Amino acid sequence: MATVTLENIRKSFGKTEVIHGVDIDIADGEFIVIVGPSGCGKSTLLRMVAGLETITSGEVRIGGKRVNEVEPMDRDIAMVFQNYALYPHMSVFDNMAYGLKIKGTPKSEIVARVDAAAEILQLGPYLQRKPRQLSGGQRQRVAMGRAIVRKPAVFLFDEPLSNLDAKLRVQMRLEIKALQRELGVTSLYVTHDQVEAMTLADRMVVMNDGVADQIGAPLDVYANPATIFVAGFIGSPPMNFIDTKQISGWTEPPCVLGVRPEHLHLVSEPEGRISGSVTYAEPLGAETLVHFRTTDGPSVTVRQDGAEPVPSEGERLGIAWKTDKELRFSEEGQRLADS
Amino acid sequence: MEKRVTFRGIWLPILLVLPQIVITAVFFFYPAGKAIWQSLFIPDPFGLSMQYVGLGNFEYLLTDPYYRGAFATTAIFSGLVTLVSMGCALFLAVLADRLIKGSGTYRTLLIWPYAVAPAVAGVLWLFMFNTRVGVVTWYLGQLGYDWNHVLNPHEAMGLVVIASSWGRVSYNFLFFLAGLQAIPRSVVEAAAIDGARFWTRFRTIVFPLLSPTTFFLLVVNIVYAFFETFGVIHTITSGGPQQATTILVYKVYSDGFVGQDLGSSAAQSVILLILVSILTVIQFRYIERRVHY
């Protein structure tokens, strides 16, 4: 168990800086999810914590101890890779026992620990198989098993679920969460999937282009995004952004308004704060997503209850929302104080 | 569903495979058959008459201490060539695999020796180790070592091994590098996180995952050492001193074309033919059930 601290971490490949100073404080036993689009530097950040990439500047501390120059094996971490990175020529048992054998753990203890992990992960019947004889979900479990038998201070997960099919992903997500709760090991989890981030995280870090835009509990981030990027990235369908120039009778300084689709509702054209025509509607049963093209602006999505009538395509309507549900952003994408 | 093309008649398929069959027949079946036939006779040196001796040539060979000696020489020579060329190649490939900058140049330079014909390579090494004017010999002399592969059988063996291995390192290097790069980086990283330092990682992860490549190269290099090193040996030592570097294939040549004992030479060819067949069978057996990851 340990705390992890990242202090003004920067990373350059050649002359290109890809991570521009990230600070994260992770409490003991906390589950932190780093989420962002591909290429935002989230995996690089994780690999720097693991010691697989050098740190250009800044400091990583694990358990309060600076580890910048420490080899991966001496950092007391375990990592689960996206492609599992199992040793193909070794049995499941040997895969899990590898780290312990190198450390010179007594044989009886190796067997006990591997058996215990296999028990938790329901891998008992597969211990003598080779990884290629296992399904994707089982391989994923072996990778987890390899991480937990070593009883590390920190777990690192690099998109561990992205090679699984949708159903298995949901199942493994719950298992990972339960396992982490049970073991109470500090965890750092990288994903591009915002649903994984929302469901797993104690706190999430939203990365954008090498910068941590926002760090916070999932629901706080959802309700109070710090930037337009975060607002647009977290939530599906994404938040709508409406330029105040489109709103007739706007008297305050111009800005961009962000409103979640569930906070918009359809009204008759003159009643709406903005108006436009319906491009298409997607009835999903419990809810209906209505896509809207505003008269002189971008498209807007409205999420309405599935019981309400579905508007027909081309219908001209207005859109209204309560002012306390709107978030104000500057043209540069920063959140403005609520007026 | 039948995916293969099926022909209605018999003549078109025969016509299509005919060129291959003709080539194989002319350059393999005919000479091989001729060798088997000749191995049963002892011809006179002028080729005017032949006397049937049955398996006499073989019987004689298997009791001939010189031929047995050539077997031992071949075993030592091919073992050493394989070991040296594969060992160097693996070492260089491991280095190249870790290289980030300039790896293209490094690789290209390492591949060049492969383009040098064995006989030419032999001459190059012969110049460097020439007992009177060789550069290496001179430096060795400065260090107080008197190099003379013309008189010393061990030095002669060493020289032909080096000359034969040299060009082969390139070939092996290419395969080893490709094999190393096919190992997923994350597997090696996982081992690093599991606590394995470089040498442990190499021994327990990299080398086992490289084993299909290693086995393939082992067979290919042994076959190379058996046959294609003729040019090197011919230019450097001509099998000497005292037959110290006469490998089986060189003995076929020297007994047959220098010694004019065509019957014995043919019998030796047949023995070599059997040897290489066994090697090929082993190789194909292995490739067929090769490990898939």
Q: What angle is formed at CA B91 by the lines to CA B85 and CA B95, rounded to 5 degrees?
A: 140
Q: What angle separates helix B118-128 from helix B135-142, to the nearest 10 degrees?
A: 30
- Taking the C-alpha atoms of residue B209 and residue A328, their distance in angstroms, rounded to an integer, is 57
Contact present, A297 and A243 (Cβ < 8 Å): yes
DSSP B42: E
The predicted structure's pLDDT at residue A255: 85
Chain B contact set for A98 (CB, 8 A): 191, 194, 196, 204
Tell me, yes or no, if A85 comes closer than 8 A to chain B by beta carbon.
yes
| Contact (CB<8Å) B195/A99 | yes
**In the predicted model, what is the mean pLDDT of residues B262-282?**
86
pLDDT at residue number B292 = 46
Is pTM beyond 0.90 here? Answer: no
Distance, CA of A329 to chain centre? 23
Q: What is the spatial distance between Cα B223 and Cα B228, in angstroms, rounded to a whole number? A: 8
* Closest residue in chain B to residue A131, using alpha carbons only: B293
Q: Output the CATH code of domain B58-288.
A: 1.10.3720.10
Give the C-alpha separation, B264 to A171, whole Å.
Answer: 74
ipTM of the complex as predicted = 0.81
| Torsion sign over Cα A70, A75, A81, A87 | positive
How far CA A132 is from CA of A97, A135, B276, in Å, comes to 18, 8, 35
Instruction: Count CB atoms within 10 A of the CB of residue A168.
Output: 15
Chain A residues whose beta carbon lies within 8 Å of the beta carbon of residue B192: 52, 71-73
With helix as H, strand as E and coil as C, how does chain A read? CCCEEEEEEEEEECCEEEEEEEEEEECCCCEEEEECCCCCCHHHHHHHHHCCCCCCEEEEEECCEECCCCCHHHCCEEEECCCCCCCCCCCHHHHHHHHHHHHCCCHHHHHHHHHHHHHHCCCHHHCCCCHHHCCHHHHHHHHHHHHHHCCCCEEEEECCCCCCCHHHHHHHHHHHHHHHHHHCCEEEEEECCHHHHHHHCCEEEEEECCEEEEEECHHHHHHCCCEHHHHHHCCCCCCEEEEHHHCCCCCCCCCEEEECHHHCEEECHHHCCEEEEEEEEEECCCEEEEEEEECCCCEEEEEEECCCCCCCCCCEEEEECCHHHCEEECCCCEECCCC
Write out pLDDT tens, residues B127-146.
Answer: 888 888 888 888 988 888 88
* Structure-block tokens of residue A139: 């391989």
CB pairs under 8 A between A and B: 62
Half-sphere exposure of A227 (CA within 13 A, CB side): 15
CA-based torsion, A90, A96, A99, A103: positive or negative: negative
Measured between beta carbons, the chain A residues lying within 8 angstroms of B179 are: none
Task: Look up residue A18 and give its amino acid.
Answer: V
Which of B186, B200, B291 is opposite residue A83, by nearest beta carbon?
B186
Beta strands in chain B (DSSP E): 41-43, 50-52
B207 touches A at CB < 8 Å: no
Domains of chain A: 4-233 (3.40.50.300), 240-329 (2.40.50.140)
Distance of alpha carbon A183 from alpha carbon A167, whole angstroms: 25
Q: B193 to chain A: which residues are within 8 Å by CB?
A: 50-52, 72-73, 77-79, 99
B49-60 pLDDT, tens digit per residue, is 778 888 888 888
Put simply, whether B132 touches A (Cβ < 8 Å) is no
**Smallest Cα distance from A15 to chain B, Å:** 15
Among residues A65, A42, A63, A37, the alpha carbon closest in space to that of A53 is found at A42
Kindly state the DSSP code that residue B112 receives in the 8-state scheme: G
**Nearest neighbour of B194 by CB, restricted to A88, A89, A99:** A99
Does B183 reach chain A within 8 Å, measured CB to CB?
Answer: no
Does A87 contact B205 at a Cβ distance shorter than 8 Å?
yes
Q: What's the rounded Cα separation, in Å, for the pair A301 and A278?
A: 10
Contact B195 A102 (CB under 8 A): yes
Contact status of B36 with chain A (Cβ, < 8 Å): no
The alpha carbon of residue A88 is apart from the nearest alpha carbon of chain B, in Å, by 6
How far apart, in whole angstroms, are the C-alpha atoms of residue B293 and residue A84?
Answer: 14
If you search the block for the tokens 């201070």, which residue do you land on?
A: A153
Place of tokens 């997607």: A282
CA pair distance A196, A189, nearest whole angstrom: 10
Note whether B192 contacts A88, CB cutoff 8 Å.
Answer: no
Asked if residue A311 has a cis previous peptide bond (ω within 30° of 0), the answer is: no
Q: Which residue of A has its CA nearest to B199?
A: A102
B192 vs A103: CB contact, 8 Å cut-off? no
Does residue A250 sit at the B interface (CB-CB below 8 Å)? no
Q: Is B290 on the interface with A (CB under 8 A)?
A: no
The least confident of A2-6, A212-216, B89-93, B99-103 is B99-103
Query: A136-149 and A107-120 helices cross at what angle (nearest 10)?
Result: 140
**Annotated domain spans of chain B:** 58-288
Quick: pLDDT tens for B208-257. 889 888 888 888 898 888 888 888 888 888 877 888 888 888 888 888 88
pLDDT band at B2; cut points 50, 70, 90: low
* Contact residues on chain A for B195, CB-CB shorter than 8 A: 73, 99, 102-103
Whether B224 contacts B165, CB under 8 Å: no
Do A54 and A31 form a contact (C-beta atoms < 8 A)? no
Tokens of B210: 């490289």
* Alpha-carbon distance A2 to nearest alpha carbon in chain B (angstroms): 17
A99 vs B contacts (CB less than 8 Å): 193-195
In angstroms, the separation between the Cα of residue A43 and the nearest Cα of chain B is 13
Tell me the average pLDDT of chain B: 85
Calpha distance A237→A304 (Å, rounded): 12
Is residue B115 within 8 angstroms of chain A, CB to CB? no
Q: Is A219 in CB contact (< 8 Å) with chain B? A: no
Which of A54, A67, A100, A102 to probe by mutation at the B interface, max B CB count within 10 Å?
A: A102
Q: Under an 8 A CB cutoff, do A132 and B293 touch?
A: yes
Task: Closest CB to B209: pick one of A50, A78, A89.
Answer: A89
CB of B163 within 8 A of CB of B120?
no
- Alpha-carbon distance of B174 to B217, in angstroms, equals 11
| pLDDT per residue of chain A (339 residues) written in tens, 0 to 9 | 688 999 888 999 888 889 888 899 999 989 999 999 988 888 999 999 998 888 988 899 998 888 888 888 888 899 999 888 999 889 999 999 998 998 888 999 999 999 988 888 888 888 889 988 888 888 988 998 998 898 888 999 998 888 888 888 888 888 889 888 888 899 999 999 888 899 999 999 999 988 888 999 999 999 889 999 999 898 888 898 888 887 777 778 888 889 999 998 888 888 888 888 888 888 888 899 999 888 777 788 999 888 888 888 888 888 888 888 888 888 888 888 765
Q: How confident is the model at residue B293 (pLDDT cuts 50, 70, 90)?
A: very low
Is A232 within 8 Å of A241 (Cβ atoms)? Answer: yes
3-state secondary structure of B149: coil
Is some CB atom of chain B closer than 8 A to the CB atom of A280?
no
Q: Which of B189, B194, B293 sits opposite A98 (nearest CB)?
A: B194
Residues of chain B found within 8 Å of residue A46, distances taken between Cβ atoms:
none
Question: Measured between alpha carbons, how far is A308 from A325 in angstroms, rounded to an integer?
Answer: 21
CA distance A269 to A267: 6
B63-80 pLDDT, tens digit per residue, is 888 888 888 999 999 999
Question: What count of Cα atoms within 13 Å lies in the side-chain half-sphere of residue A307?
Answer: 0
